[in-house]
Amino acid sequence: MSDVSLPESVTTYLKLRDRFVVERPPEGGRQICRELTESLDGAVRELAEGLDGSAVVVAVGGYGRGDICLGSDVDLMTVHVDRPDADDVAGLLHPLWDAKLVIGHAARTLREIGLVARDSIETLSALMTMRYVAGRRELFEESVDVVAKLVKQQSARISDFLQAEEDARRSEEPYWLLAADVKQGRGGLRTLHGVELDRIRTGTVGESIAPAADVLLDVRNGLHAVTGHTVRKPSNRYTFEVREAVSAWLGRDSLEVGERLQSARRSAEHLANQQFPRLGELNAPVAGVGRWLFRALRRSPSASYSSAFVQSAAVLDGSTGAAFSISEERAVRAAGPPLWSDDDRELFVRLLASGDQGRAIMERLHEFGWLTKAIPEWAESQDRPHVVPFHAYTVGGHHWATVDEILRLIDDDDPMLTTVTDELGSVDDLVVAGFFHDVGKSRPGDHSLVGAEMVGDFARRAHFSPTSQRRLAEAVRLHLVIPDAAAGRDIDDVGVIADVAARIGDVQL
């Protein structure tokens, strides 16, 4: 805290924040945000008494939404009838600066609001959740009217902007990172903000964002408490180094926190999928077929699929990328587990082999609740966090990254890889094994042995051939043999190579 004498209301805010850093309140992050916002409002109102009657103080950004966290910036805008008086504005801001708060501030006239927001969709979006704090209320209402008119005029541009932002988050993080950025990252608070803003734009009400937001805000406040709420940029990223300390502040086990966080991020993405039906219109080409032909791609034009696979095939072969129509979504949600006909099984492998598009379709099937019925062994591990620091992704994200790496290697021109793939003939089993190799981490015990049993159960239920059933189970059971050897032995040593080959035993593995 600064040695400068601060107004009592500002000191009260700082003390409240410091108390929450030491001890999480009963309602967690949401209570912190609510009480900090109320306390800061009181301080700003006191400081705004020096403004004349021709100005209003407006909260924007996280402060406008009432989402002030322990280390949040404070975004304010003063709106003036005429040219702002610099001394009056300084009287409002200086005590906040003296308190070492990071203040984002703009001073505008009504005309300037219109001009700036018209030129910048990002600025206009930020003003859509502005909130009255102090000063001339009539001027606030006029500001709201200016923004509302611009939102109506710029509706299509706002929608495109919000969708592009969400698409960018998914492109930058194709697999769910363990070190989640709970604010800017995939499925983070920005995703929920986009949903909220689009609902304001359209005047619609949808499924509540509160459950997902509460978890994200709780974790974000924990991160700020642990990484230092008084530094200029406290961390919003849930890294391995801080997760135990954050979990302790939250009063939960780190594994539970990781699963709750991932579930909240997935829920946020689900809400975005509902709000932006065009998300997923990426039409990615089928991956891994430049040179090697999957058995699954040699399908009959008259293929007969179980329900849910019917809709998935239509989406995969259509022009909507990964977007299901309302009727298709309803059919998938109502569908039972597949019969696992030959066509079902081949479409499953085809989805795995279809790169970004196949992954996005499978994400939707999981979102609709169908993968839990069809492949419960995989679904139960999807949101599981890894417990060792060298993994970058959740278990589910790691599975997808493995599949995509297999597809990349299949298309590589390396002569050795070409020889290996030629010997395999079809790589269907290899891709499926990659998709399942860590499923055992969702249950107690050695995950290789547990996972081998789980994938064996799936392969029998899905009517894979006896040979494929054996290969899949053995591939999962033995998937750590080579990395373990590489970690502690000389992999160029002929004896080591012979020992590893003997342990694996089957050239197909």
| Whether residues 25 and 106 fall in one domain | yes
Boundary residue ending a domain (120, 153, 186): 153
| Whether residues 303 and 351 fall in one domain | yes
pLDDT of residue 507: 57
Boundary residue ending a domain (275, 303, 319): 275
In a domain, 3, yes or no: no
In a domain, 495, yes or no: no
pLDDT of residue 301: 44
Beta bridge partners of 500: none
Q: How far apart are CA 70 and CA 13, in angstroms?
A: 11
pLDDT of residue 52: 74
Orientation angle between helical segments 137-153 and 110-119, nearest 10 degrees? 30
- 247, 248, 254, 259: CA torsion to nearest 10: -40
Sequential DSSP letters for 128-154? TT-EEEEE-HHHHHHHHHHHHHHHHHT
| Whether residues 37 and 144 fall in one domain | yes
In a domain, 467, yes or no: yes
| Whether residues 216 and 114 fall in one domain | no
| Whether residues 68 and 92 fall in one domain | yes
Tokens of 330: 């309803």
| Whether residues 215 and 128 fall in one domain | no
DSSP state for residue 111 in the 8-state scheme? H
Which residues span the domain enclosing 86? 8-153
| Whether residues 268 and 323 fall in one domain | no
pLDDT of residue 292: 37
pLDDT of residue 297: 40
| Whether residues 366 and 258 fall in one domain | no
CATH classification of the domain holding 47:
1.10.357.170
pLDDT of residue 230: 61
| Whether residues 323 and 466 fall in one domain | yes
| Whether residues 15 and 122 fall in one domain | yes
| Whether residues 146 and 168 fall in one domain | no
* Amino acid identity at 79: V
pLDDT of residue 291: 35
CATH classification of the domain holding 212:
1.20.120.330
State the total domains in the chain: 3
Low-confidence ranges of the chain (pLDDT < 50): 1-2, 282-302
| Whether residues 251 and 225 fall in one domain | yes
In a domain, 281, yes or no: no
Boundary residue ending a domain (91, 124, 153): 153
Three-state SS letters, 347-383: HHHHHHCCHHHHHHHHHHHHHCCHHHHHCHHHHCCCC
pLDDT of residue 509: 54
